[in-house]
Structure 1
Amino acid sequence: MSYLQTLRTEKLTKTYGEKTLFKDLDFIINEHDRIGLIGTNGSGKTSLLNVISGADHDSTGNIITSKTYTIGYLKQDPELDEKLTVLDAVFAGSQDIFNTIRRYEQMLDKYSANPGDSKIERQYLDAEAKMNEENAWTAESDVKTILTQLKIDNMHQKVSTLSGGQKRRVGLAQVLIQSPDLLILDEPTNHLDFDSIYWLQDHLAKYKGALLLVTHDRYFLDEVVNNIWELSFGKLYKYVGNYQDYVSQKADRVDREKESEHKKSQLYKQELAWMKKGAKARSTKQQARINRFNDLKDNVGNLQVDKDVDISLGQQRLGKKVIKIKDANLRIDNKQILKDFNVLIQGSERIGISGENGAGKTTLLNVIAEKIPLDSGIVDIGETVKLGYYTQQTEDIPEDKRVINYLSEVGQHVTDKDGNQVSVTELLEQFLFPKFMHGTLIRKLSGGEKRRLYLLKLLMQQPNVLLLDEPTNDLDISTLTVLEDYIDHFSGTVITVSHDRYFLDKVANRLLIFEGNAKIEEHVGKFTDLLNAQRNAKYAKSNSKKQESKNDNKSNEDVNDKETSKKKLTYAEQLEWEHIEDDIDKLDQENTKLQSMMVENGGDYDKLADLQAKLDANKAQSDAKMKRWEYLSQYLSD
């Protein structure tokens, strides 16, 4: 990774069809920035990431960086070669570090086969120097560590056999190992379990470059970022701090803008009254006032802010009997999902379901919705129950139908809890679809906007039992806030499958945790309280094992030393050993010289920054050489 780098944009603009996603954006990303980018679905977040990363060439404006500036980008759907193994796929990237490793391995093979060829020897030494320069010696072990932390255990498995979630984790490993100047992550926590999310939080906290990420995980934002950028109505608003700081600062900004808009409106009314009286003479002073009136007329009423939301729809009466599952057994593809499972779910309950991927969480919702039959046991659904099921896959939506017509299939209006009629137009606005979008063709919506429209249609049907399957995977933070508010006022039963800690804390107080192999544990309370208790238990257990391991290692040290001494250096490693100490001495001498030059140029910031960058790079090489010296020295023959 290069040092003291920034990325700057000038008048960055992106249009999609007739819609301007953002216009004339000017910003700077400094090397230690941790930026969380938020905004409603369709506001242009992913488009902005694509433009910054260079993946989108249809925008206008300038992106200014140094020639050495590097960007790593995790897309929501990583592009991986299906024919490769997991490990090979990670190293198949086009980034410099991967090219350096491949080049070194090629030259090492050639040099081992042709030790007397001076040309190949020079090429090998150049490749080795490049490995030192980029500190690439530990890349393979680092990748294996990252993949293990992301719960990819079989690294020789073909990419083609991986699930969508596993492919995302491989893509995440590929981008993390690059250590670029700017790391861009689009929904990095999707498909990660909680251990992996905690590990990723710690990993990013130690990251030396800049970070720009989009995520719906508000706890993750709180832990990782130091700036929030909000893309709203084509503008970029910047807030210093984490998500909690953003919520407070945005509220203050909106209040200030509303107050300013109110003052403009009052002044406009005064000027309008004056204009209606008519100005008998057209003096310069009066003409200036007329010009001011015209400016006000153009600017009043243009304030665009998120509206206050209160969706309190009516619903059918829900009796005491809701859902009862008794002695349930289910096996799918030779995998036991439910075994003698019993649960009673009553009215107004808030059930959160989480746990291992593939353990059967979605299957349980499908059992409740009577989409999958049990092998044995009883699913008893109350007679008054009206299910609303938000599935991970959106129903087929006619792409050439307009937004308002799609919802009108349910009805022209619905009834709220107070018996008042609410029009489809009002509901659309409450669900973050402004008026200008009501006649938009559905095919022009983003994927997230389609999911939001699908959710609104589901709620319009006024269910009294709501099943939600991973709603946070596709919905933006603003929509999730609306949904959380809806659930808070919802008098029916809500059953949610989710990995989102913040969302589960907001909408659930009774938990079903799927641990795999049909083991399902029930807990009462907040989800994060349960996670913290589990982490503390694991930490205590890990410390106990480490102490046992220390005791075992003491008795095995002599045996290990004997086994190590039996190994010998390869021919290429022997050549490397012969000049490695000279290389270290040379680097130390250069470092001393650089430090002297920094003292001499203490008043020249640009020169000082350049010297510091060279010194940091040299120290990294020196540290890598010392590690390599320690590694090679243990295999020397007596």
Structure 2
Amino acid sequence: MRPFLQVENLSKRWGEIMLFENISFTIFEGQKVALIAKNGTGKSTLLNLLADKDSPDSGIITLTNDINIGYFEQIPNLNPENTVLEEIFESDNQKLKTIKEFELAVSKNNQNAIASISAKMDELNAWDFEVEIKQILTELKINILDKLVGGLSGGQQKRLSLAKVLINKPDLLILDEPTNHLDLEMIEWLEAYLEKTKSTLLMVTHDRYFLDRVCNEIIEMEDNQIYRYLGNYSYFLQKRDERIEIQQATVSKAKNLLRTEMEWMRRMPKARSHKAKYRIDSFYDLKDKASQKIKEENVNLNVKSARLGKKIIELENVSKSFPGVKLIENFSYKFSRFEKVGIVGNNGTGKSTFLNLITNSLQPDSGAIEIGQTIKFGYYRQEGIQFDPKDRVIDAVNKIAEYIYFEDGTKMSATQMLTHFLFPPETQYNYIEKLSGGEQRRLYLCTVLMENPNFLILDEPTNDLDIMTLNVLEEYLQAFAGCVIVVSHDRFFMDKIVDHLFVFEGNGVVTDFPGNYTVYRNKVLEDKEKQEAKKTANVSKEKPKNTSNKDTEKRKLSFKEKREFEQLEKDIAKLEDKINTIEEELNSGNLPHDKLFTKSEELTQMKTQLDEKEFRWLELSEWEQ
């Protein structure tokens, strides 16, 4: 394998904070690499350096043969004045430029331009590429091509930015948290796409199933050291534990030896002989090794929760709609003590509305919601909290409480609590505006749990939290002496936490599924396969052969049935012509994205009609004319 990207002795400081110093690693062609590190250690900064969006303080980044890099950033860098279509095709890629010209010619019905550009499309072999582009846009639900980028929501802009990067087919694909703002179906599609792509991949993600299935190597950045693991996430966990054990044993051994050497140093006369110099030098090396800290800092989340009474939350025939949209209809449920519920469903099916209903932020159109007197909500919202950026970290915690009480009766100061949340004393007086996105989310989580809730609502808690924090949060939630509702696109997190799911199916339907996300998804796929098999069986079903029995003897067609038989022949011929026409249009590459989707649906409907008519024709043809 040839090296695509080489990093040598790279260093970067953010104000007074040293993010990383003298780190080195190489990415080889064809590798799919994940970068793992704690929040605030400079993961996004490192990706910005590799993508030439920023400059290092020192060190060298070498790209082999000027390879093409595609970079998906956490904050999209798009032109708000462009339409979605213009933004997608804004590229130096010759094929993309030609496809853009073709799409514009089609939209203006310029036949001369269509003819000349079609020849160029043939020459560049761009037709298949155009079909792939439309598939990517369809999977990421980008179907408003004439809308201005500035008018899109944050999630839509993120998906547009991701589509733009994938469409350009770079040699090296750099992705910073690509699964944020994607629903579960999109994540599964992207997972399959990246598994098949020939692009070399470097990715930061908190989605452990995604990481496990896509990446074949992991780079861990810790304490200005780079550790490489030639395997997936499961392999990484095993080898990381082994590495830490070896380091701990080495430091422990060095400390024991240091005690002996310190005694010798104290006994040495001031005028030390030349012979002992090597041992003195060795002492200082040993002292450095013994003073190493194995930073296995875990977030201590065993915060005391308020007492939970018998009555939790009871919903009876609750309905909620907005103009033209039915979100929840006649939903009833009684929450039990200590249960943990996951919420899944496509965007716009009512998940956030449900959370607002049970917290009294919204009132139902009909039905009743009763909340127990002892219930104390802790609501971790997707949009986060608006900290005062000029506040210091310690100020944000002191506004809630100066002391935090734990289940065992002990208490902890705000400073100690922040230290447990991986904010060491030297960073507690930093301004919040200097924190990374992940550090701000961790601080927000700290403030939610400090209020001693007994009913936790977590809306996309995994976004922007590092994997180390997520592991500890999962352990806390499993032992949490209260109720939990989780809305998350992180399948690993959901599988580990929830006992059952509320599935928001759309049009007001909410079902209670007994199992975690993986069980649910497997059931959905199994049901889909059964439906497909049933449909195939119905289509291929043939009339049983006639026997000599009188009951199975052929009968003559009635006048009405003869007319039906003749009409069926005409209908079948017309449907076959229409299907052939649509298939030609779909394969031509001339259709704009919105028409492609419409025509695909139309084709499916027509094929279903054809199957039904052909089966009826076969049935009538068995009888005497």
| From 490, 497, 516, the counterpart of 2:480 | 490
Contact 2:494 2:517 in 1 (8 A): yes
Which residue number corresponds to residue 42 of structure 1?
40
Structure-to-structure mapping, 1:571-582, within 5 angstroms: none
Distance 1:563 1:38 in 2: 51
Contact 2:251 2:289 in 1 (8 A): no
Deviation of the 1:194 alpha carbon = 2.3
Do the aligned partners of residues 545 and 178 (structure 1) sit closer, same or farther apart at CA in structure 2, a change above 3 Å counting?
A: farther
Deviation of the 1:397 alpha carbon = 1.3
Which residue number corresponds to residue 25 of structure 1?
23
Distance 2:513 2:579 in 1: 49
Contact 1:415 1:421 in 2 (8 A): yes
Do the aligned partners of residues 54 and 546 (structure 1) sit closer, same or farther apart at CA in structure 2, a change above 3 Å counting?
A: farther
Do the aligned partners of residues 170 and 563 (structure 1) sit closer, same or farther apart at CA in structure 2, a change above 3 Å counting?
A: closer
Which residue number corresponds to residue 434 of structure 2?
444
Deviation of the 1:422 alpha carbon = 2.5
* TM-score normalised according to structure 2 size: 0.81
Deviations 1:242-279 (A, max 9, x none): 11111111111111111111111112221112222233
Instruction: Indicate yes or no: 2:307 matched with 1:317.
Output: yes
Instruction: Indicate yes or no: 2:175 matched with 1:194.
Output: no
Instruction: Indicate yes or no: 2:212 matched with 1:222.
Output: yes
| From 522, 526, 534, the counterpart of 1:532 | 522
Distance 2:173 2:583 in 1: 42
Contact 1:7 1:30 in 2 (8 A): yes
Do the aligned partners of residues 243 and 229 (structure 1) sit closer, same or farther apart at CA in structure 2, a change above 3 Å counting?
A: same
Question: Unpaired segments of 5 or more residues in structure 2?
Answer: 542-568, 589-625
SS of alignment partner, residue 373 of structure 2: coil
Which residue number corresponds to residue 169 of structure 1?
159
Distance 1:88 1:500 in 2: 32
Deviation of the 1:102 alpha carbon = 5.0
Do the aligned partners of residues 104 and 545 (structure 1) sit closer, same or farther apart at CA in structure 2, a change above 3 Å counting?
A: same
Which residue number corresponds to residue 425 of structure 2?
435
Structure-to-structure mapping, 1:344-383, within 5 angstroms: 344-383=334-373
Distance 1:542 1:89 in 2: 38
Instruction: Indicate yes or no: 2:292 matched with 1:302.
Output: yes
Deviation of the 1:282 alpha carbon = 1.9
Contact 1:183 1:212 in 2 (8 A): yes
Structure-to-structure mapping, 1:335-484, within 5 angstroms: 335-484=325-474
SS of alignment partner, residue 472 of structure 1: coil
| From 72, 91, 95, the counterpart of 1:74 | 72
Distance 2:267 2:450 in 1: 50
Distance 2:301 2:392 in 1: 22
Residue-pair matches, total? 557
| From 89, 94, 98, the counterpart of 2:96 | 98
Distance 1:528 1:211 in 2: 26
Identity of aligned residues (%): 39
Deviation of the 1:317 alpha carbon = 1.2
Q: Which amino acid aligns with 1:35?
A: V
Distance 1:446 1:166 in 2: 23
Which residue number corresponds to residue 260 of structure 2?
270
Which residue number corresponds to residue 10 of structure 1?
8
Distance 2:584 2:491 in 1: 51
Do the aligned partners of residues 290 and 184 (structure 1) sit closer, same or farther apart at CA in structure 2, a change above 3 Å counting?
A: same
Instruction: Indicate yes or no: 2:557 matched with 1:559.
Output: no
Do the aligned partners of residues 396 and 266 (structure 1) sit closer, same or farther apart at CA in structure 2, a change above 3 Å counting?
A: same
Q: Which amino acid aligns with 1:410?
A: I
Q: Which amino acid aligns with 1:385?
A: I
Quote the RMSD (CA, aligned, Å): 3.4
Deviation of the 1:531 alpha carbon = 0.6
Which residue number corresponds to residue 55 of structure 1?
53
Do the aligned partners of residues 57 and 95 (structure 1) sit closer, same or farther apart at CA in structure 2, a change above 3 Å counting?
A: farther
Distance 1:387 1:485 in 2: 20
* TM-score normalised according to structure 1 size: 0.80
Do the aligned partners of residues 555 and 300 (structure 1) sit closer, same or farther apart at CA in structure 2, a change above 3 Å counting?
A: farther
Q: Which deviates further from its counterpart, 326-335 or 346-355?
A: 326-335
